[in-house]
């Protein structure tokens, strides 16, 4: 049985994911049932570098970055399961969690500076190194984006 992670701060997130500024798109993990589900968030601020060009005068978070934030949350869920199963953090540093597919994507409304983007992923299938999940992002309890994501754990060497 997996042990839930609660209130995973930015330092712990950075120990689990290889992403760094400006591409680390998680601020906190609220809860994570390793290998089952994750709830995290990203505080969206006007200081995000993508707002300079998307769009001048009407800053809107790019949809692909919302998907990336969801994938990073999913990566935390997978990494947490790997760590619970006995792998150490050093072993995971030589791996990457890469998108292999994105399906059923829907963007429901724009995300603006000042929004708190709530990220939810639920595992739907896992076989060998392939993970499938359903994901959605909310602002103020309103779904702003949703998708089915697939990703694989791969060795950094050989890419």
Catalytic center residues: 54
User: Which has the closest alpha carbon to 26: 69, 60, 63, 79?
Assistant: 69
User: Which has the closest alpha carbon to 78: 2, 157, 159?
Assistant: 2
d(CA 1, CA 159): 33
d(CA 127, CA 39): 22
**Angle in degrees, CA 107, 80, 82, rounded to 5:** 115
Count CB atoms within 10 A of the CB of residue 81.
Answer: 19
């Amino acid at each position: 049985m997996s042990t839930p992670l609660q209130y995973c701060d930015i330092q712990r997130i950075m120990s689990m994911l290889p992403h760094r500024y400006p591409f680390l798109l998680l601020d906190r993990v609220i809860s994570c049932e390793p290998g089952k589900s994750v709830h995290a968030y990203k505080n969206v601020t006007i200081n995000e570098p993508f707002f300079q060009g998307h769009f001048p005068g009407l800053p809107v978070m790019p949809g692909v970055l919302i998907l990336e934030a969801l994938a990073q949350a999913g990566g935390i869920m997978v990494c947490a399961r790997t760590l619970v199963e006995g792998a150490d953090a050093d072993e995971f540093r030589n791996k990457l969690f890469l998108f292999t597919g994105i399906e059923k994507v829907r963007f429901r409304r724009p995300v603006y500076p000042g929004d708190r983007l709530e990220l939810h992923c639920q595992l739907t299938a896992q076989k060998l190194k392939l993970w499938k999940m359903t994901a959605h992002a909310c602002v103020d309890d309103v779904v702003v984006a949703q998708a089915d994501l697939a990703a694989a754990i791969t060795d950094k060497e050989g890419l």
